[in-house]
Amino acid sequence: MGGGLAPGGTASLRLPGQHFVASLAFLAAGAVGLVWIAPELAAGSFLSIHVAGVTHLFTLGWLTTTIFGALYQLLPVALGAPVRSEMMGHISFWCYVPGVALFVAGILQNSIPLHHAGIALIAVGMVLVIINVGLTLPRATSRDVTWYSVALALGFLASTLVLGIMLLHNLHTGYLGDHRVATLAVHLHVALVGWVLTMIVGMSHRLLPMFLLAHGADTRWTQRALQFLPAGLPVFAVGMLIGLPAVTWAGVALMEAGAICFFIQARSFARARKRPRLDVGLRFTGIAVLFLALSAVLGPIVLAVGGTRHPRLATAYVLTGLLGGMALFVVGQFYKIVPFLAWIARFRGRIGREKVPTVAELYSSRAAHLQLVLMVGGVSVLLPAIAAGSTSAFRVGAAAFALGVAVFISQMIRVMTVGRRSSAATSG
């Protein structure tokens, strides 16, 4: 297990590693922010600038930064294509990460200079990633569904950037007028469904069979998911922006079909697994898929009743998919990928010379399961708290989620530091 993640040398771990560290910092900030904006989220105030700022800590900060790091690690081993330029990867990192911090600060402080500085750096960082990965893809020796998912997701990432710039300009000018909410809905779905979920679908096709030991499962459902999801998004966007309900519903139907195909694929992998007992990373992943399914159920309901007329329902829909689904899914993959990469970097060369820990011993299973209870329990409390409009209940759920994040970060610090002293002594 995990051999498909192994890099050709430890030097290549620096680029994904710095992305993973930065993403953890954004996750921590987002978790604290979730407690802070509890009154607004409990009331369903999804148009609040505070909500927008904290949301971007999770979307641009936690999810996107992690995906960038994962791409730099997985492309060479999954597609047989070394990243076109590691230097460009470092430059994009030092543009993108400070850009996200400045951008969020600008939103929270309503500062035009910070807004502009942040979005400029984000744009440069994203464009460099798109160019770097885009130049890597043609060199791939394998062009399976994972390859196509990356190519599709990069296109949606570029669209997300354009829509984000439009919404930022509207924040200061109001030029979108009554189209603001529709544009925001399109931006949100292009980012989460087009960019994040498409990447999750494609990477899961490669990672879940490896982690579950589920080789031999029917894998045709991934291809179907990657046909329906990208087809539905443009249709949904046109319907929303022009105001054609029939077209919007057609887009939703296609996206729902894509989501269902992904759920069937995940179930197929789970049923074909040779590993009877799931470790904590796979438990996070399985629960995240259930939250994504719940979000897929809530989406059409929100559209049918009107998100602006029922803002708490719309807020619950987004939080279910973003925190319960995508954030927890990435946490689960962290537990599968980061300890293995840390073990490779620190202990591979010491086998046979001294006793080395196993990958599972780099973190505490008991603490990881405590984190699972806190984060899943926290998200589960948030949803009824929004339904009831209860700020106090929402704060309880947000605090539990934040405590889970604190445990997670302590776990990752342990993973990154176990054996470092003895390694330094050995090398000395």
Model confidence over 12-64: pLDDT tens digits?
688 999 999 999 999 999 999 999 999 999 999 988 999 999 999 999 999 99
Q: Which segments of the chain have a pLDDT < 50?
A: 1-3, 8-11, 421-428
Q: Rounded distance, CA 46 to CA 233, Å?
A: 21
**pLDDT of amino acid 417:** 83
Of residues 78, 41, 37, the one with CA closest to residue 389: 41
Question: What's phi and psi for 277, nearest 5 deg?
Answer: -105, 130
DSSP secondary structure letters along 206-257: HHHHHHHT-TTS--HHHHHHHHHHHHHHHHHHHHHHHT-HHHHHHHHHHHHH
Q: Which residues does 300 contact at the CB level (< 8 Å), separation at least 6?
A: 252, 256
| Residue 11: per-residue pLDDT | 42
User: For position 344, what pLDDT does the model report?
Assistant: 83
Per-residue pLDDT, 4: 57
The predicted structure's pLDDT at residue 361 = 86
Taking phi over 0 as left and psi of -120 to 50 as alpha, with beta for the rest, 224 belongs to alpha
Exposed/middle/buried for residue 247 (C-beta within 10 Å: 0-12, 13-18, 19+): middle
Strand partners, 354: 351
Phi-psi region of 174 (alpha: psi -120 to 50; beta: other; left: phi over 0): left
pLDDT of residue 422: 45
